Amino acid sequence: MSFLRPEITRWFARWAESVGAVILAVAGLWFLWRGFTRFNTVLELIGLVLLVLGAAAFWASFQRTRFARAKQGPGLVEVTERQISYMTPFGGDSIDLDAITRLELRSGVDRERSWVLTQTAGPTLFIPVNAAGADRLFDAFSALPDMDSARLVAAVNATGDQRDVIWRVATQIRALT
């Protein structure tokens, strides 16, 4: 039995990674301050490294947490070695991250939003935003060339009916000479 209310426990579970990163950055600030006050270069370097690592970890975890949705949609998403798999009780499919040519976010007729992953050879994969494990897609999508993670988070947090192309393969035009 916990002495915290369930909504507080859920908040801490959701933001635990970001809170840990802030604690790391604060520890870095403390070491940096101790190094400055004692004229100790080693403590200053340790503090600087911890501060930078904490700030970078916070930014990544903050983006990842904002990307995650409630896990009440159909199916299960797994990301393993640059391959995205989506499974439902009725079947499933997988797509290689390097084969993706276009990434969209669409709203369906039932107003459920889905990721649409188009590939060169093979079927298009539709993954509900709120499927279990869909939060793992942030890191997978961030690995796509020239992917803007801020645009990815903004698309997930947008409301309304939409069909938004988030990313597509850069086409190269060659002159015939």
- For 76-168, CATH number? 2.30.29
Mind listing the pLDDT tens digit for each residue in 66-81? 777 666 778 899 999 8
Give backbone dihedrals phi and psi of 69, rounded to 5 degrees, phi first: -115, 170
- Residue 150 is predicted with a pLDDT of 83
pLDDT band at 29 (very low <50, low <70, confident <90, very high): very high
Among residues 24, 22, 48, the alpha carbon closest in space to that of 34 is found at 48
pTM for the structure as a whole:
0.65
- Residue 70 is predicted with a pLDDT of 64
- Residue 85 is predicted with a pLDDT of 93
Q: 177 is written with which tokens?
A: 């000479």
pLDDT greater than 90 at residue 133:
no
Mean pLDDT confidence for 26-41: 94
Average pLDDT, the chain: 86
**DSSP string covering 99-152, please?**
GEEEEEEEE-TTS-EEEEEEESSS--EEEETTSBTGGGHHHHHHTSTT--HHHH
Mind listing the pLDDT tens digit for each residue in 144-172? 998 888 888 888 877 767 788 889 887 75
